[in-house]
């Protein structure tokens, strides 16, 4: 067995002071207490010498906390985008600052969410970060929890409400940046994908329109393709469609990297050169961009930063007891060969 690690008592005894004093000094919570500077110095020195670190459970217990934040992740985005990993990277860093542990669970449906986040689970966390898609029941659950005082931050793609604090990249800005980039590269006839009636897709499309407006261009509505989803196949279909129509176009603004890569595959199959004849850009800057036949330009989802900020905000709700506010992060453009 490993030796018991050093406790408050150990350093108190070594210094012949009460361990309550040590606790106050170490915690920086002196209250009306005003110890002599030399004592404070000595305590800090001894603590360092004995390698004292407060027991994470004991303080949480005393404070009435559970010492953990629930992180419920829906596989947002397509597989291969590494969104979950990036988010978790941010979240784990953010939580660590406050010495809070993670209670991690993956869910893929309303039912699974309810199943995973049952009463027992709720009893084990001080707050929750929910990553995913705002499905009906899941939303209701979270709202109810939040109303009952459970700190909750959402990371919802395209969440429009404002009851819950939501952290996400600015989707409209993604559309704007991607479009502007191709325009600046010289594209004048941009084909673009719209994905069903998802709020995100609509926002990105809005950014697409705004970019055109800024440069005094008018998009050709016949170059819009309504895709079923964000998958590769949708990109292939779109390219096939435009080629079948014999449409003339010099760029493609996709709604995901998968769509963009699907489109590239199809273009290449028809002997059309990327980026020489058609420039292509995706969304998310997923690792896929680099394994595309032509390395793909993209705009970021800023997932690591989103994760870190979400963590910061739950902790804030937990400590301050007041609701956090939503926040949109600014995406960045990553230019690669496909738009060169």
Partner DNA sequence: CTGAAAGCGCTTACAG
Contact residues for a copy of itself, defined by CB under 8 A = 1-2, 4-5, 51, 53, 55-58, 60-61, 64-68, 75, 78-80, 82, 84-85, 88-89, 92, 96, 99, 101-106, 119-120, 123-124, 148-150, 232, 258, 261-262, 265, 268, 286-288, 290-291, 293, 321
Of the listed pieces 4-12, 94-102, 244-252, 295-303, which binds DNA according to CB under 7 A? 4-12
CB of 117 to DNA, least distance (A): 19
Structure tokens at 33: 């207490």
Shortest spacing between CB 29 and a copy of itself, in angstroms: 20
Give min distance, CB of 153 to DNA, in A.
24
Give me the torsion for CA of 194, 195, 196, 199, rounded to 10°: -90
Rounded-to-integer distance, Cα 192 and Cα 255, Å: 8
The region of 34-42, 80-88, 229-237, 274-282 touching DNA under the rule CB under 7 A is 34-42
CB–CB of 338/265 below 8 Å?
no
Alpha-carbon span 291 to 269, nearest angstrom: 17
SS3 24: helix
Which among 102, 112, 71 has a CA at the least distance from the CA of 306?
A: 71
Q: Is 27 in the site for DNA (CB under 7 A)?
A: yes
Q: Is residue 98 within the footprint of DNA (CB under 7 A)?
A: no
CA 332, 337, 339, 340 torsion-angle sign: positive
Query: Which of the 8 DSSP states describes residue 306?
Result: H
SS3 279: strand
For a copy of itself, the closer CB: 44 or 265: 265
Look up tokens 């590494």; give the residue: 82
By rule CB under 7 A, what string of x and - marks binding of each residue 36-75 to DNA?
A: x--x------------xxxx--xx-xxxx-----------
Stretch of 17-25, 205-213, 228-236, 327-335 contacting DNA, by CB under 7 A: 17-25
Least Å distance between CB 141 and a copy of itself? 15
Q: Would you call 278 exposed, middle or buried from its count of C-beta atoms within 10 A (0-12, 13-18, 19+)?
A: buried
Q: Minimal distance in Å, beta carbon 209 to DNA?
A: 53
Q: Cβ closer to a copy of itself: 130 or 261?
A: 261
Choose the one of DNA, a copy of itself, none that binds residue 78, judging by a C-beta under 5 to 8 angstroms depending on kind.
a copy of itself
Q: Are strands 333-334 and 297-300 parallel, antiparallel or unpaired?
A: antiparallel
- Angstrom distance (rounded) from CA 285 to CA 256: 9
Q: Which is nearer to a copy of itself, 126 or 157 (CB)?
A: 126
Closer residue to a copy of itself in complex, CB, 30/58: 58
Tokens representing residue 197 in the block: 């009636």
Closer to a copy of itself by CB, 173 or 300: give it.
Answer: 300
Task: Write the interaction track for DNA spanning residues 309-338; mark x where CB under 7 A is met and - where it is not.
Answer: ------------------------------
- Among a copy of itself, DNA, none, the one that 107 touches (CB under a kind-dependent 5 to 8 A) is none
Spatial contact of 141 and 117, defined as CB atoms under 8 Å apart: yes
In 3D, which of 257, 270, 265 has the Cα closest to residue 336? Answer: 257
C-alpha 340/C-alpha 334 separation (Å) is 11
User: What is the C-alpha to C-alpha distance for residues 338 and 261, in angstroms, rounded to an integer?
Assistant: 10
Residues at the site binding DNA, with contacts judged by CB under 7 A? 4, 7-9, 17-21, 23-24, 26-27, 29, 31-36, 39, 52-55, 58-59, 61-64
């Amino acid at each position: 067995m490993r030796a018991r690690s050093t406790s408050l008592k150990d350093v108190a005894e070594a210094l012949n002071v009460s361990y309550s004093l040590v606790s106050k000094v170490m915690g920086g919570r002196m209250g009306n207490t005003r110890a002599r500077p030399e004592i404070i110095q000595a305590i800090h020195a001894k603590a360092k010498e004995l390698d004292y670190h407060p027991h994470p459970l004991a303080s949480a217990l005393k404070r009435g906390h559970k010492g953990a934040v629930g992180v419920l992740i829906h596989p947002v985005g397509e597989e291969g985008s590494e969104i979950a990993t990036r988010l978790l990277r941010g979240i784990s860093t953010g939580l660590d600052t406050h010495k809070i542990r993670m209670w991690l669970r993956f869910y893929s449906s309303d039912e699974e969410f309810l199943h995973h986040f049952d009463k027992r689970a709720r009893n084990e966390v001080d707050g929750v970060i929910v990553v995913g898609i705002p499905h009906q029941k899941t939303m209701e659950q979270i709202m109810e929890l939040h109303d009952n005082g459970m700190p909750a931050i959402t990371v919802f793609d395209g969440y429009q409400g404002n009851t819950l604090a939501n952290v996400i990249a600015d989707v409209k800005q993604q559309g704007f940046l991607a479009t502007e980039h191709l325009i600046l590269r010289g594209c004048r006839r941009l084909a673009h994908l719209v994905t069903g009636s998802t709020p995100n897709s609509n926002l990105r499309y809005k950014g697409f329109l705004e970019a055109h407006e800024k440069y005094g261009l008018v998009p050709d509505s016949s170059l819009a393709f309504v895709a079923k989803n964000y998958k590769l196949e949708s990109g292939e279909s779109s390219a096939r469609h435009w080629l079948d129509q014999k449409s003339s176009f010099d760029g493609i603004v996709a709604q995901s990297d998968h769509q963009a890569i699907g489109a590239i595959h199809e273009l290449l199959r028809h002997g059309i050169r990327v980026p020489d004849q058609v420039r292509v850009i995706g969304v998310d800057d997923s690792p896929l961009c680099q394994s595309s036949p032509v390395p793909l330009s993209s705009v970021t989802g800023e997932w690591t930063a989103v994760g870190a900020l979400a963590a910061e905000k739950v902790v804030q709700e937990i400590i301050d007891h007041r609701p956090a506010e939503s926040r949109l992060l600014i995406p960045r453009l990553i230019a690669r060969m496909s738009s060169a």
